[in-house]
Structure 1
Amino acid sequence: MKKKTFDLICSVGELTGIFHKKTNINGLLHIVVKLVAKHMETEACSIFLLDNTTGNLVLRASVGLNPDMIGILSLTPGEGITGTSLKESRAINVPRGSNDPHFKYIEGIFEERYESFLAVPILHSKHRLGVIVLEDSRPDYYTERDQRALGTIASQLAAFLENAKLLLELRNQKNRGPEEAKDEKDNRRLPLKDFYRGEAASGGIALGRAVLVSGSGGDLLLSAGHEAYRQGESAFEEALEKTKRQLELLQQHMEDALSEVGSLIFGSHLLMLSDEDFSGSMRKNVREGMTPQQAVVKVVNEYVMLFINSRNQNVQEKVHDVKDLGHRLLKNLLVNETEDGDYSGQIVVAQNLLPSELVKLGVQNTEGFVLFGAGMTSHISILSRSLEVPVILLGDKNFFQFVENRLLILDAYQGTIMVDPAEEVIDRYLETDRRETDRRNEDYAEPFEPIALPNGRNVELLANINILSDVHSAKRSGAKGVGLYRSEFLYLIRNSFPTEEEQVVIYEKLLNQIDNVVFRTFDLGGDKILRSASSSNEKNPFMGLRSLRYAMKNRDLFKIQLRSILRAGKGKTIKILFPLVAGPEDFLEAREVVYEAAGALEAEGIEHNANPQIGAMIELPSSALLVEEIAEHADFLSIGTNDLVQYVLGVDRTNQQIAHLYDQQHPAVLRLLKMIAEGAERKGCPVSVCGNSATDPQMLHFFIKSGIYSFSVDPRSFSDVRAVLQEIADEMIE
C-alpha cells in the first residue's frame, strides 16, 4: 500500500501544544516522538541526543522500542545506522535493515521486527545535537519526500532539542548549587547623568522605564523591586498559566509575521515553564512559605548564575531567555497586572545582544533599545529599522550599570537619551512622537512608475528589504519591486542556517507578495557575524572570510540556498545577485554552482526556475576596474556603494574615530563610479545602485549624469528619493 503524502511540517499549534502538560524534560521528549510518529505515519520514532561528556549518542525518547532502554542505550558515533548518520552528518534511508552493512543488532531493544529505517541528524547552528530515527516493519517504506520532511522536522525541533539537552546537562551542575555572583562593579563609578549622546541606529521616539537584560555577573540578576504583587499559590498558578498562553500566542504571531525566525523561537521559555525542575521548584518554594515573587526571583536567579558560569557558549546565551521569562512571570503577578506581560512601557538596555534576541524582545512591544557600542553595526541598525523600533548605541559603560528602572526618553533621530526628564520635556516628545506616527500612518503612495527623461531613458526605483514584513512597507511607499533582498537576515535573526524546505517556504511567500525580486545570496562576515558561521574571530573581518568568499568555502550551504531560490522561483522571473565579487573568475565560479544546483533539481524531478538572471555586486576596487570583463558574463550589475567607498578610501564605515573620512563624494570614488557606469554601458549590461548613496540628492544627480538610471533604497527613504528623482527629471526638461 502506497504511503500517503506527508504534509511537510507540523503546525506551530501542535508544536507549542507539547508544552501544555506539567512534566519533566523526558516527558516532553516522549510527546515529541509521538507527534512525529503520527505525522510520518510510522510505527516507531526515536530521539538520540549526543552526550557531551562521553561523546556517545544516548536514547532519550522512543515509541516503538523498549522503553526500559531509554537513558541506557548508548551508541558511539559511527555505530549502527544511527551512529553513522551522526558521524557523517547525513540522512540514511535503508529499505531493508537486515541487509544493510550499517545495521547492528542490539539485544533487548525490540528492533528486530523493523525493516525500513530512516535516520536524520539533528543539527543546530552546524553543531551536532543527535539523531531522529524512524522505523517500520514494511520494507522500502520511506521515500525521498519523507527524508526531506523529516529533515525539516529535525530543523524545526533543533532549538527545542538543544534546550532540552542543555537543561539535562545542567541538572548535575544545579545539584552542586549555584556559584555566587561575582561583583565586577567598580565602586568608583560616576553618578548617572541627565543627558547622554549616542549614535542613532534606528529612528524614533521612545519613553519608558529601563530594564537591563544583559550585563555581567550580578548585574543580570532579576529583582522584584517594590511593586505590589498578588499572593498565594493560586496567584502563582494563574500567573504561570497566563504566561504560557501569552507565549503561545506570541509564537503564533511570530510565525505569521516573521516567518524567517523559524518555529519555536520561544521554545526555550515554554520548555522551562513545562519543566518541573523550573516551575516545580517555584511551586515548592511557595508551598513552603515564600511569596510568589520571591520564589520566581530565587529560581530564575539560580538559573541565571548556572548559565553565566557555564563554559558552554550555547548555555551562556540562554541567560536572556530565563531573565525574560522571569520578567514576564513577575508582570503577571502584579496586583495591577498588564494584559500582555510584555515590555510595554519599558526600554531594554543591553551590553550585548544577538540579532535573534533583538527580534525576540522587539516583538514583545519593547518601546526602544539602548545597546552598548560605538560605531553602528549594519545588521543591528538595518534589522531595527525593519522592526520599526528606536535603537541608540552608547559607548558609556557607566550608564548600563546605574540605569535599571530609571525613566528614559530616547530620541533616536538625534541619538540622545534623557534620564528622569521633566514633565514638560515628556509632553514635548510625546507630541513629536504622535506627529511622526500620524505621518507613518498616511495612506498608501501611488505605485511608482518609471520616470521618463528627455534623453529617452527611464528612471527605475525599487525597494531594499531585509525581512518579509518589509514588503508591506515597500508596497505602502509605492515600490513595485525589490532591488535588493538581503537574504542574510534570514540567517542572522535565527543565528543558524535554515533548511532547504524552510527557505523555500519563505522565498515563496516573498514572491507571492511582490514581483521583480533580486535575491542577494547571503552576505555574512564583516559586521554581520553569525556565531555558527565561523569557529574563530578574524582580526580584520571586512577583509576576511565574508560574502561570496564564505559561500564558496561552504558550498553545501550555498547550494542549499540556491536550490531554495530556484524552487521558489518556478514560473516566475527571478534574479540572483552575488555579493563582493572580486573579478570575472569569482563570478563564473559562483555562476557554475547555480547551474549545478539547477541540474541536480532537474535530475531529481523537482520543479524549479532553470533560467534565472544572474548578476554581480560591484563593491570592490578590483571588480570596478574589471567591470567590463564581469559585464560580459553577467545579466546585470549592482553597485554596493557602502562597501565600495570604504574599500576605495580604506575607511572602516563602522569606526566612529574615522567616520569623518568616509566620504562618498571623494574624487576617487566619483571617478570609479563613472568608470563602472561607462564600462557597463559599453557592454550593454544594466547597472543599478543599491547603497546609501542612492538616498543622497547630490549623488542622484551625479548618477543620472553618469548614465545610471536604476536605484533601490530602504522603504523609509523611498518617498524622499522618489521626489528628488522627479525634480531631476523636471530640471532636465526645463
Structure 2
Amino acid sequence: MLLQGIAAAPGVAMGLALVIQEGPQVVIRYEISGEQVQAEVERLESHIQLAILQLKALIERTSATVGSEQAKIFESQIWLLQDEEFSGAAKDTIIAQRINAEAALDGASDAIIGIFESMEDERLGERAADIRDITNRVMRLLEGKKEDMQQESEDPVILFAHDLTPSDTAQLDRNKTAGFVTDIGGRTSHSAIMARSMDVPAVVGLRVGTKQVKTGDYVIIDGSQGAVYINPEQAVIEEFKDKQIRFRARLAELKKYDGQPSITADGQQVELVANIGNAQDAWTAKNSGAEGIGLYRTEFLYMGRNQFPTEEEQFQAYKVVAEMFGKDQPVVIRTLDIGGDKELSYLDLPKEANPFLGHRAIRLCLEETELFKTQLRAIVKASAYGNVKLMFPMIATLQELRKAKELLAEVQNELEQENIAFNRDMEVGLMIEVPGAALIADQLAKEADFFSIGTNDLVQYVMAADRMNERLSYLTEPFQPAVLRIIDQVIKAAHREGKWVGMCGEMAGNLTALPILLGMGLDEFSMSGGSVLAARALMHKLDRREMKQLVEDVLQMTSAEQIKSYVECKVPAIADWRA
C-alpha cells in the first residue's frame, strides 16, 4: 500500500513501524458509587505523582543525550501536573459527576486544550501540546500501559504519530529513530523543522497514517517525496535499498564542500547561515558548515519554564553563540517573537479570536517595555563578544520600527552610563513577514540596516492560507507567483538603499528556490544546518548573471508548478544534490 503525505525531511528510512500516538482515543466512561469517589481521586493523584517521577527521570536522560535546554520542556510539564487548574479540575469532576478517573481526566484535558485550539494556533500551541502530553502520560499509567514503547525495540524503528509535539521530539532516541511520520502538519510545522535539524527522514500530513499502519508492519518512507509504503513487495524494497545507498553516497560527496567558501560559478560571494533556537543548535550548525547564524529564535529561552529568563541568563545564552562564531561570522538575534503559535503560560495575556493576526511579537514588546528592555540589554551586551546583529520581528509600520529603535537607544545609553562594553555599530534590521511591510519596504530600508525575509509567515499571509493545514499545501508553496513578486520587490527596495537582504524562512534552504533567489540578488540564505552543504554545492554550479535572466522569465509565469518545472529544467544540477 502506498500513502502520500507531505515531504518534510529528505532521505529514505526502512524498517518496522512503531505507532506511538494514535491520535484521539475513545476513553471508557463509567459511573462509580459515592463510597468509591475518594479512592478514585486518590488513584488519579497517585498516578499523577508517578508521572512526575517519570518526568524527573526524563529530565536527566534528556539533559545527557539531547541538551539541558530541551530538558526544560519537562520541567514545565511537571509544573502543569502540579497546577490545580489541570489536576484539580479532573478531581472535581470525579467528585461532582461520580465517574472514573480516566473519563474525568479526559474531560478536563479536552476543555483546556479546546480553549487553545480555538485560537487557530498553527502548531496547536505550546501550552496545548504540553497538556496533551501530560494527559497521555497519566492516561497510560491509569490504563497500565508502558511509558516508553520506543525502548522495546533494539533496532531503529519508524515512528508513526498523530502529531509530534515539542516534547515528543525532544525525547526521541535518535539511535532508535530511523524516521517518523505524522498524520497532521505541514513542511514548516515544528515536527518537520525538527526532523531536518536531526537529519531524520520524515513525512507529515499523512492524515491516516496511524489508522492504516500497525506496529510491526514493515514500512518504507521517502522523506524527499512524501511517500510511505506499507508492507511493500520485495521489488520495491530492493529499489529503495538502492535509493538509500545513493542518498548516503550523496551525503559523503557533500562532505567535500565542508569548509569551502560559498561562491557562485561566476565568483560571487553569498552567505549560507543557519536558523537556531539555542547554543546546541548553533554548535550543530557550525559543524554542518554554516557560516554564521541568520536567525536566533530567542523565544525558546522563554518557553518550557514558569517565569521570565533573567537578563543574565539571556546574556550568557547570546554570548556563547556570539563567541562560537567570532568577530567575522554573523549572529542575527531576533527579539522575542511570542504569541500566535507560541504562548507563555506565565504571561497572562487575554485570549484572542485570531492570535496570528493579534497582539504578538513586536506589538507585544512595544507595550511590555520592561520585558523588552531586559532582552535588549542582554543582546546589546552580547554584541561585545562577536558579530551580533539585532532583528525585530513582525514589523508592519515605520512607526513600530522607530519606536523599537528608540527603546534600543535608551538601553544603549543606559549601558554606556554603566560603563558596560557593547558594539555601538551593531546592525539593526527587521523581518519582512507582513505584506504591509513588504509594500513599504522602500521606506523601511531607509531606517533599517538590513532585512530578513521570513517566508514561513509571509507566504501564509500573502496567500491567506494556514501553513499547518495540509489541505492548503498547494497555496502555501513559496513558488506562488504572488509570493515571488513580493520577494523580488523587497530585495530591490533594500538594494536601492544599499542595504543587504537575507531570508530565514524554509524557502532559503529549498534547492529549487536557490536559483531564483540568487538571481533576485538575495545576499544571505539562512536555513537548517543540514541543508547548508547541499546549498553550497549547488551555488558552485550557478552563474548569477544567468540566474537573473531566469528570474525575468519566472516572474512572468502564472503558477507554482510551472515555475518549479521551468527552474528544474533550466538548472539540472538541482537533481544532483536533491535528496
- Normalised to the residue count of structure 2, the TM-score between the two structures is 0.68
**Secondary structure in structure 2 of the residue aligned to 1:319:** helix
Per the alignment, do residues 707 and 407 of structure 1 end up closer, same or farther by CA in structure 2, a change over 3 Å counting?
closer
Q: Which residue of 2 aligns with 1:70?
A: none
C-alpha displacement at 1:585, in angstroms? 1.0
Q: Would you say the 8 A contact 2:257–2:537 is kept in 1?
A: no
Post-superposition offset of 1:518: 0.7
- 1:419-498, aligned counterparts within 5 Å? 419-421=230-232, 425=236, 429=240, 432-433=243-244, 435-437=246-248, 439-440=250-251, 443=255, 445-449=257-261, 451=263, 458-491=269-302, 498=309
How has the CA–CA distance of structure 1 residues 450 and 357 changed in structure 2, closer, same or farther, with 3 Å as cutoff? Answer: closer
- Residue of structure 1 equivalent to 2:134: 318
In the alignment, residue 18 of structure 2 is paired with which amino acid?
A
Alignment partner of 1:716 is 2:530: yes
Cα 1:357–1:540 change in 2 (3 A) is same
Partner of 2:229 in structure 1?
418
Q: Of residues 183, 197, 200 in structure 1, which corresponds to 2:7? A: 200
Counterpart secondary structure, 1:716: helix
Query: Could you say if the C-alpha distance between residues 653 and 401 of structure 1 is closer, same or farther in structure 2, counting changes exceeding 3 Å?
Result: closer
Report the AA paired with residue 400 of structure 1. Answer: T
Question: CA offset at residue 577 of structure 1?
Answer: 0.9
Asked which structure has the greater CA Rg, the reply is 1
- Is 1:629 aligned to 2:453, yes or no? no
Question: Which residue is equivalent to 2:48?
Answer: none
How far off is 1:584 after superposition?
1.6
Q: In structure 2, what is the Cα distance between the partners aligned to 1:478 and 1:213?
A: 35
Alpha-carbon distance, 1:626 to partner: 2.0
Residues 97-118 of structure 1: CA deviation (Å, up to 9, x unaligned): xxxxxxxxxxxxxxxxxxxxxx
CA contact (8 A) 1:307 1:318 kept: no
1:447 CA drift (Å)? 2.3
Shift of 1:615: 0.5
Kindly provide the amino acid, as one letter, of the partner of residue 382 in structure 1.
I
Please tell me whether the aligned partners of residues 261 and 494 of structure 1 are also in contact (alpha carbons under 8 angstroms): no
Structure holding more helix per residue: 2
Asked if structure 2 preserves the Cα contact closer than 8 Å seen for 1:386 and 1:466, the reply is: no
- How far the C-alpha of 1:554 sits from its partner, in A, is 3.8
Asked if the contact 1:379–1:527 (Cα under 8 Å) also holds between the matched residues in 2, the reply is: no
Q: Deviations over 1:408-445 (max 9, x none)?
A: 52333332333344566556545644554564466463
Paired residue secondary structure (2:474): helix
> Residue deviations 1:186-229, cap 9 Å, x none?
xxxxxxxx4432223333425333233364455799xxxxxxxx
Taking structure 1 as the reference length, the TM-score comes to: 0.55
369 and 449 in structure 1: CA distance in 2 versus 1, 3 angstrom threshold: closer
Identify if the C-alpha distance between structure 1 residues 672 and 217 changes in structure 2 by more than 3 Å, giving closer, same or farther. Answer: closer
Query: 1: CA distance between counterparts of 2:169 and 2:207?
Result: 20
Structure 1 portions without partners, runs of 5+: 1-193, 222-239, 273-301
1:676–1:557 CA distance, 2 compared to 1 (3 A): same
Q: Residue 372 of structure 1 is aligned with which of 178, 183, 186?
A: 183
The answer to whether structure 1 residue 391 and structure 2 residue 202 are counterparts is: yes
- Where in structure 2 are the equivalents of 1:36-51 lying within 5 Å? none
Task: State the partner residue of 1:589.
Answer: 403
Contact 1:481 1:517 in 2 (8 A): yes
SS at match of 1:480: coil
Other-structure match for 1:228: none
Residues in 1 aligned to 2:142 and 2:241: alpha-carbon distance in whole angstroms:
30
Post-superposition Cα deviations, 1:522-580, rounded to whole Å, max 9, x if no partner, equal 33444556666675664444323333223334444433333332333333221011122
Correspondence 1:544 to 2:358: yes
CA distance in 2, matches of 1:572, 1:481: 11
Alignment counterpart, residue 308 of structure 1, candidates 90, 106, 123: 106
Within 5 A, what are the aligned runs for 1:639-678? 639-662=453-476, 664-665=478-479, 668-678=482-492
3-state secondary structure, aligned to 1:728: coil
State yes or no: 1:563 paired with 2:377: yes
Unmatched segments (≥5 aa) in structure 2: 30-50, 82-99, 113-129, 548-579
Partners of 2:295 and 2:28 in 1: CA distance: 39
The SS at the match of 1:628 is helix
Alpha carbons of structure 1 residues 422 and 577: separation in structure 2 relative to 1, 3 Å: same
Contact 2:390–2:427 (8 Å) recurs in 1: yes
- Residues 59-103 of structure 1, C-alpha deviation per residue, up to 9 Å, x if partnerless? xxxxxxxxxxxxxxxxxxxxxxxxxxxxxxxxxxxxxxxxxxxxx
Q: AA paired with 1:679?
A: A
Q: Residue type matched to 2:21 in 1?
A: V
Structure 1 residue 381, shift from structure 2 partner: 1.9
Q: CA separation of 1:419/1:707 partners in 2, compared to 1, >3 Å: closer, same or farther? A: closer
| Contact 2:17/2:217, CA 8 A, preserved across alignment | yes
Alignment of 1:190-339 (within 5 A): 194-204=1-11, 205-213=13-21, 215-218=23-26, 247=58, 250-254=61-65, 257-263=66-72, 265=74, 307-310=105-108, 313=112, 317-322=133-138
Answer whether contact 2:62 2:170 (CA < 8 A) is retained.
no
Task: Write the letter of the residue equivalent to 1:558.
Answer: F
Give the deviation of 1:588 after TM superposition. Answer: 1.3
Report SS of the residue matched to 1:361.
Answer: coil
Give secondary structure in 2 for the equivalent of 1:418.
Answer: strand
CA distance 1:729–1:545, shift in 2 (3 Å): same
- The code of the aligned residue for 2:298 comes to S
| Distance in 2 separating the partners of 1:325 and 1:270 | 18
Residue 391 of structure 2 corresponds to: 577
Q: Quick one: distance in 2 between partners of 1:383 and 1:248?
A: 19
Indicate the structure whose relative CO is greater, using CA pairs within 8 Å and at least 6 residues apart.
2
Q: Which residue of 1 aligns with 2:36?
A: none
CA distance in 1, matches of 2:263, 2:306: 41
Q: Residue type of the partner of 2:69? A: E
